[in-house]
Structure 1
Amino acid sequence: MAPILDIRNLYKNYGTTEVLKDINVSIESGEFLVLVGPSGCGKSTLLNCIAGLEPISGGTLAIAGEDMTDVSPKDRDIAMVFQSYALYPTMSVAKNITFGMKVRGVDSATQERKLAEVARQLQIEPLLNRRPGQLSGGQRQRVAMGRALVRDPKLFLFDEPLSNLDAKLRVEMRTEIKALHQNLGASMVYVTHDQIEAMTLATKIVVMKGGVIQQIGSPSEIYNRPANLFVADFMGSPAMNLIPARAQGNGSGTRIEIAREGGEPIVLTDARARDLPEDVIVGLRPEDIAEPGFRHGEAVQEASCKIDIVEPAGADTYVMTHLGGKPVTARLHSETEAAPGATHTFAFDLSKVSYFEPESGRRLN
């Protein structure tokens, strides 16, 4: 069976400015693809190219095995949910949801049946007679989603649909979208700059920067094995610690030397690492720098560092220190005795370490 979406060697130019460069990505039916990256990376432009709202400058784009490169948006069998909701202010919720079906000549009985199904799924049944001006932001977003759902399209496209909502409502709507995907088994492409949204919603993530795909993978792959320094720094909250170090091979693996403020360097030995360059960036997630006793195994090694800042965060406490001339964050348990200005012992879990080449930023292991 052909992928539900298949993009090959796609380019997009505005005059002489190249905004999308050799994009290759495909998803199977039922997958949830998230395009993520900082502002200006090209993710919304790519979504618009998929929708047909922007013509592409090169390459091909197929939906469900059919070439859609030059097909108009109305003939692509897609439904789009916008950041701005794009609801008709003079129409009721029910009419907003059914308007597209009415225009397409769908019979009244089918309109009513689909409206009832979607209203039940989105829990907006009491709102059907209201107008958009009488709804909260979250309710408007549900209506916008309902209008897309009644289409029953081959592909759903979401353009930063939660960015206008407050933090609490954003979490609630994120959960609803996840549940919708699981219940419907629908194919979805979702644009966001929020890497937490990307990690929680996606079955597949595309990380973009400057119109170029940096990495494609599952949330676990992106988080645990970032392809380069940009992905390592962008994906994760707090971000991965990226610590300059010196590496030297020896009989038992590789000696990793990390400068420490006001004292001798930290020396760690990675028995798995081989053939690292002398200058290297050591990547460790905050949770992989923990309290002694909370991590076990041959790869766990301890070292002491002076604490700069302590940030309690409920179940966790984030502790900042400096290593290799860079700020480093450790994720400790809530009852830690770590205090600003004190020296504290940390357990470094080298089984989770990533190594990067400093100049190119590429992953080495």
Structure 2
Amino acid sequence: MSHILEVDGLFKSYGATEILKDINVSIDKGEFLVLVGPSGCGKSTLLNCIAGLEPITGGAIRIAGQDMTEVSPKDRNIAMVFQSYALYPTMSVAKNITFGMQVRGVDKATQSAKLADVARQLQIEPLLNRRPGQLSGGQRQRVAMGRALVRDPALFLFDEPLSNLDAKLRVEMRTEIKRLHQDLGASMVYVTHDQIEAMTLATKIVVMKGGIIQQIGTPHEIYTRPANTFVADFMGSPAMNLIPARATPNGQGSVIEIAREGAEPLRLDEPRHAGLSGEILLGLRPEDMHEATARAGEALQGGAVRVDVVEPAGADTYVVARLGGKEVTSRLSADTQARAGAALEFGFDLSKASYFAPETGERLA
């Protein structure tokens, strides 16, 4: 099966400044690709290159098997949704949605049918006669999506479409976009700096930093097996704990030693990895650091650690302590008895652990 989108060895420079460096990524029909990373990592530039709004310096972009190098944006069979919505203020909602079809010479009956269809899908039927100025942010976002949907393109491109909305509306619109993707089976490329948005929407995530792809994978792969400490730290809220430790091979596996304030170091048996040796970073998600008493019967190892801060957060309580000379956060249940200043018995689920090289940040195991 040919890919709906292929980005092949893509480079993009402004003068001597390289913005994108050897980008290789592809998606199949119906996939939802999310480009995520901090501000300035090149994700919006990559989206603009796919859309044809930015010329590329090297490499190739193919949409539905066709090389797009010389093809103008309007002929790429794409639809774009921006964070600014880019609606015509003097036109009604209905006109905003059908205007593109009108320009392309689509007959009136087809325009009406498509308008009715997307208005129903997006639940904006009562708004069709209003102007954009009379709409809320979420309603404008729906209209912008409606305008993209009536094009029935090969590829939808979203550039941070929810970043202007308040937190509650963002969650609602995220669900809306996810539902749209499921209903349409459409192919989507979506840019965001919000890792929660990336995790909830994507079938495939590209994590970028400094114009370079750090990792490509499913949300589950990116979360459970980050390729390096940048991905481990960026994806997940709270971030993965990266705890300085020392590993010593012991025949069958390794012993992981972690410094503890005012006590002997913690010693943990790691039977899965015999190759770990010397200074390492132990990566553990907050939910994989348990209260030892709460997880009786599981093969958890650990010890007592002094608690610094307790942060209740509804269903969870975050407990901050120090291990290996660094702050670590664990996600415990709301009814934890943890108290600041007191010792708490922690159990670590090493079956979920990641290990990284401190100098390079690359994944070791």
In structure 2, the residue matched to 1:238 is 238
Contact 1:295 1:349 (8 Å CA) reproduced: no
TM-score using structure 2 length? 0.99
Whether 1:341 aligns to 2:341 is yes
Amino acid of the structure 1 residue aligned with 2:166: D
In structure 2, the residue matched to 1:21 is 21
Contact 2:20 2:42 (8 Å CA) reproduced: yes
Deviation at 1:105, TM superposition (A): 0.3
Contact 1:270 1:299 (8 Å CA) reproduced: no
Unpaired segments of 5 or more residues in structure 2?
Answer: none
Deviation at 1:270, TM superposition (A): 0.7
Deviations 1:130-150 (A, max 9, x none): 000000000000000000000
In structure 2, the residue matched to 1:38 is 38
Deviation at 1:277, TM superposition (A): 2.8
CA–CA distance in 2 between the matches of 1:298 and 1:237? Answer: 25
Which is further off, 291-300 or 336-345? 291-300
**Matched residues, number:** 365
Deviations 1:329-357 (A, max 9, x none): 01111100001001000110000000001
In structure 1, the residue matched to 2:197 is 197
In structure 2, the residue matched to 1:273 is 273
Contact 1:299 1:351 (8 Å CA) reproduced: no
Deviation at 1:46, TM superposition (A): 0.1
CA–CA distance in 1 between the matches of 2:203 and 2:357? Answer: 29
CA–CA distance in 2 between the matches of 1:222 and 1:104? Answer: 41
Deviations 1:151-172 (A, max 9, x none): 0000000000000000000000
CA–CA distance in 2 between the matches of 1:222 and 1:119? Answer: 36
CA–CA distance in 2 between the matches of 1:166 and 1:48? Answer: 25
Whether 1:138 aligns to 2:138 is yes
CA–CA distance in 2 between the matches of 1:87 and 1:234? Answer: 33
In structure 2, the residue matched to 1:213 is 213
Amino acid of the structure 2 residue aligned with 1:134: Q
Amino acid of the structure 2 residue aligned with 1:204: K
- RMSD of the TM alignment (CA)? 1.0
CA–CA distance in 2 between the matches of 1:202 and 1:297? Answer: 35
For residue 89 of structure 2, give the secondary structure of its aligned residue in structure 1. coil
Contact 1:157 1:189 (8 Å CA) reproduced: yes
CA–CA distance in 2 between the matches of 1:337 and 1:135? Answer: 48
Amino acid of the structure 1 residue aligned with 2:90: T
Which is further off, 18-27 or 286-295? 286-295
Deviation at 1:325, TM superposition (A): 1.0
In structure 2, the residue matched to 1:108 is 108
Contact 1:55 1:70 (8 Å CA) reproduced: no
Deviations 1:15-55 (A, max 9, x none): 00000000000000000000000000000000000000000
For residue 257 of structure 2, give the secondary structure of its aligned residue in structure 1. strand
Deviation at 1:294, TM superposition (A): 4.2
Whether 1:332 aligns to 2:332 is yes
Contact 1:240 1:284 (8 Å CA) reproduced: yes
Deviation at 1:295, TM superposition (A): 3.9
In structure 2, the residue matched to 1:227 is 227
Contact 2:222 2:235 (8 Å CA) reproduced: yes
Deviations 1:34-79 (A, max 9, x none): 0000000000000000000000000010000111122110110000
Which is further off, 264-273 or 286-295? 286-295
Deviation at 1:282, TM superposition (A): 0.2
Map 1:144-155; keep pairs closer than 5 Å: 144-155=144-155
Which is further off, 65-74 or 209-218? 65-74
Identity over aligned pairs, percent: 76
Structure 1 residues 178 and 267 mapped into 2: Cα distance closer, same or farther (>3 Å)? same
Amino acid of the structure 1 residue aligned with 2:360: S
CA–CA distance in 1 between the matches of 2:343 and 2:245? Answer: 21
Deviation at 1:291, TM superposition (A): 1.6
CA–CA distance in 1 between the matches of 2:294 and 2:185? Answer: 39
Amino acid of the structure 2 residue aligned with 1:345: E
For residue 179 of structure 1, give the secondary structure of its aligned residue in structure 2. helix
For residue 191 of structure 1, give the secondary structure of its aligned residue in structure 2. strand
Structure 1 residues 156 and 270 mapped into 2: Cα distance closer, same or farther (>3 Å)? same
Which is further off, 254-263 or 98-107? 254-263
In structure 1, the residue matched to 2:256 is 256
Deviation at 1:302, TM superposition (A): 2.5
Deviation at 1:358, TM superposition (A): 0.7
CA–CA distance in 2 between the matches of 1:299 and 1:86? Answer: 55
In structure 2, the residue matched to 1:99 is 99
Whether 1:61 aligns to 2:50 is no
Map 1:166-185; keep pairs closer than 5 Å: 166-185=166-185
Contact 2:266 2:302 (8 Å CA) reproduced: no
For residue 99 of structure 2, give the secondary structure of its aligned residue in structure 1. helix
Amino acid of the structure 1 residue aligned with 2:184: L
Amino acid of the structure 1 residue aligned with 2:292: P
Deviation at 1:266, TM superposition (A): 1.0
Whether 1:287 aligns to 2:287 is yes
Deviations 1:180-227 (A, max 9, x none): 000000000000000000000000000000000000000000000000
Deviation at 1:273, TM superposition (A): 1.5
